[in-house]
């Protein structure tokens, strides 16, 4: 039985080394941009000793056509990075983005990460924090919301996943092209989150803190929610650098 002061030392020691939590999203990993995958690999190997938990809030992959499409997509290396990190003892949570909403249970089994629903409420110390990918907050983009609603149905997913892998690749490519074309007609404001929707969702979940990605506009937004100070942390993409939100000792720090 350790003396009380020894016990306290141990707790402090553990805190310093195990309490950091990180949030990332929108890495858009794609074999055509190997540098992002390299950054991810470096980040993950550094994370093993530094983090107690890692949350990936969607769009880890540029596209995902089903768990059986991993090799066709050339994403075996990314799965191995996650698997190795989980194996080394880090808890990894994955939430779907609009690009990788077809990540499924086979992926979770192969890598050892846990899939979270969007949105998910977590508790950091005694603070309730809402995690979401973020595209559901972009309610001004009616076209995206309509497509989202359809593609998230079990019926749509099943019909898509029942097609041969090559056909799914073709569909994903043409959807990408269509989306890029229609994006050009949309304003930046239309593709950003709708503040009323943000407030509605935060109110529904009884939170004053929200973390999301999707918009690729890293920032900390402070505002008043029904008279109380609220914060919305937005994660950035990994096209040109790593973007990571850390939580440690009661505080958040957005890097990159």
Nearer to Mn ion, 20 or 243 (CB): 243
Nearer to Mn ion, 214 or 232 (CB): 214
Binding site for Mn ion (CB under 5 A): 59, 97-98, 214
CA distances from 98 to 83, 103, 136, 201 (A): 23, 11, 9, 18
The DSSP secondary-structure symbol of 126 reads: T
Nearer to Mn ion, 45 or 156 (CB): 156
Instruction: Supply the minimum distance, in Å, between the C-beta of residue 213 and Mn ion.
Output: 7
Instruction: Supply the minimum distance, in Å, between the C-beta of residue 211 and Mn ion.
Output: 14
Nearer to Mn ion, 86 or 211 (CB): 211
Nearer to Mn ion, 50 or 157 (CB): 157
Instruction: Supply the minimum distance, in Å, between the C-beta of residue 100 and Mn ion.
Output: 9
CA distances from 193 to 2, 126, 133, 161, 227 (A): 52, 27, 11, 30, 21
Instruction: Supply the minimum distance, in Å, between the C-beta of residue 9 and Mn ion.
Output: 44
* Burial letters 130-163, b for 16+ CB under 10 A, else e: bbbbbbbbbbbbeebeebeeeeeeeeeeeebbee
Which residue has the closest beta carbon to Mn ion? 214
CA atoms within 13 A on the CB side of 209: 13
Instruction: Supply the minimum distance, in Å, between the C-beta of residue 98 and Mn ion.
Output: 4
Residue of 214, 205, 199 lying closest to 23 (CA atoms): 214
């Amino acid at each position: 039985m350790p003396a009380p002061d020894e016990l306290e030392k141990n707790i402090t020691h553990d805190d310093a080394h195990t309490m950091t939590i990180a949030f990332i999203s929108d890495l858009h990993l794609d074999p055509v941009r190997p540098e992002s995958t390299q950054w991810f690999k470096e980040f993950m190997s550094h994370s093993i000793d530094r983090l107690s938990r890692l949350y990936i809030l969607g769009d880890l992959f540029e596209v995902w056509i089903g768990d059986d499409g991993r090799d066709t997509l050339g994403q075996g290396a990314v799965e191995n990075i996650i698997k190795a990190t989980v194996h080394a003892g880090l808890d990894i949570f994955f939430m779907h983005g609009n690009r990788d909403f077809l990540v499924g249970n086979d992926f979770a089994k192969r890598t050892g990460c846990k899939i979270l629903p969007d949105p998910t409420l977590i508790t950091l110390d005694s603070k309730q924090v809402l995690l979401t990918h973020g595209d559901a907050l972009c309610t001004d983009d009616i076209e995206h919301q309509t497509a989202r609603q359809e593609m998230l149905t079990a019926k749509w997913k099943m019909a898509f996943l029942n097609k041969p892998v090559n056909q799914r690749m073709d569909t994903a490519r043409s959807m990408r092209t269509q989306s890029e074309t229609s994006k050009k007609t949309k304003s930046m404001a239309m593709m950003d989150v709708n503040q009323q929707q943000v407030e509605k969702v935060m109110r529904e979940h009884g939170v004053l803190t929200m973390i999301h990605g999707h918009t690729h506009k890293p920032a900390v937004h402070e505002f008043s929610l029904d008279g109380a100070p609220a914060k919305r942390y937005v994660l950035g993409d990994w096209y040109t650098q790593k973007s990571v939100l850390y939580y440690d000792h009661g505080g958040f720090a957005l890097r990159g």
